[in-house]
Amino acid sequence: MNRVFFNEIKQYIPKGKRSNRKIDLLVLGENTMLESKDKTFRVPESVKIWNLLFLGALVFIFLLFFIAKAFIYQVVEKDAYELLAQQNTVRELLLQPERGVIYDRNGKFIVRNKPAFSIDLATNLCSFGYRDFGYCRSIVNKIGEVINLDKERIFNELGAKNPNIILATGLTKEQLLPLETNISKFPGVIIVTAPQRNYLYKDAFSHLIGYVGIGGKEYPTIEGKMGIEESYDSKLAGN
């Protein structure tokens, strides 16, 4: 077959230019200069096996890691993550009723309400079902960096395992902006519209009117602490 191939090639070589020089032809199916005959360039079989074992070990380790993570999320910490997932669908809100206004015998307002906001903390969400309040404390400390908080009172209520804690009241929209932009980072923290008391003559009648504060109950409310606010708290508190 090779001889027939050479004869075919010779037919296309001009007679006047034929010579006795040896022509190197590339013949399919035979060894050529492009194919190395040096066995030292071949990868040893033992190296190939070790490479395959190394890659297989890496795949096995990654697979084992993901299986372990899935086991932790779905079995070990199932209740905690279910509770966090419920935050996206179910959220318990503590709505404060608007307190009644106080006016004199001529119908002139002495105390009324003005728009404001409060920050509440649902401890069952930040404590992973009341199991660990350390995360709740860290949330309070982070919020305390941007908003003034009574940490002593809050930590005492955390120690008592109160389900809902009012972190701060009487906040303006401007005060809430640093927190509102990062609210998703604080599970259990809720911003609620809560009107604030506006004492129009606080310098003259503060000793008679009194003031309001957070009541120490399981579900905290705003209640009167002194003066008229305390004496008529049941009528002013609202429903």
Assess if residue 13 is contained within a domain. Answer: no
Instruction: Report which of 200, 193, 201, 142 is spatially closest to residue 172, judged by C-alpha positions.
Output: 193
55 inside domain = yes
* 37 within some domain: no
Q: How many domains does the chain have?
A: 1
pLDDT per position as a tens digit, 67-107? 888 888 777 777 666 766 665 555 566 677 788 888 888 88
In angstroms, the CA 132 to CA 1 distance is 86
Domain that holds residue 109: 42-239
Enumerate the β-bridge partners of residue 109: 103
| Residue 23 forms part of a structural domain | no
| Most confident range, picked from 27-36, 81-90, 210-219 | 210-219
Decide if 27 is inside a domain: no
Task: Write down the pLDDT at residue 8.
Answer: 56
Inter-residue contact 135 to 128 (CB < 8 Å):
yes
Instruction: Please name which of 185, 196, 192, 198 lies closest in space to residue 219, comparing C-alpha atoms.
Output: 192
What value does the mean pLDDT of the chain take?
77
pLDDT level of residue 141 (50, 70, 90 thresholds): very high
11 belongs to a structural domain:
no
CATH number (domain holding residue 218): 3.90.1310.10
Q: 0.85 exceeded by the pTM? A: no
pLDDT digit string, tens, across residues 179-212: 888 888 888 888 888 788 888 887 878 888 888 8
Q: What percent of the chain has pLDDT over 90?
A: 3
**Binning pLDDT at 50, 70 and 90, where does residue 18 land?**
low
Q: Is residue 22 part of a domain?
A: no
Report the distance separating Cα 91 and Cα 125, nearest Å: 9
Residue 103 lies in a domain: yes
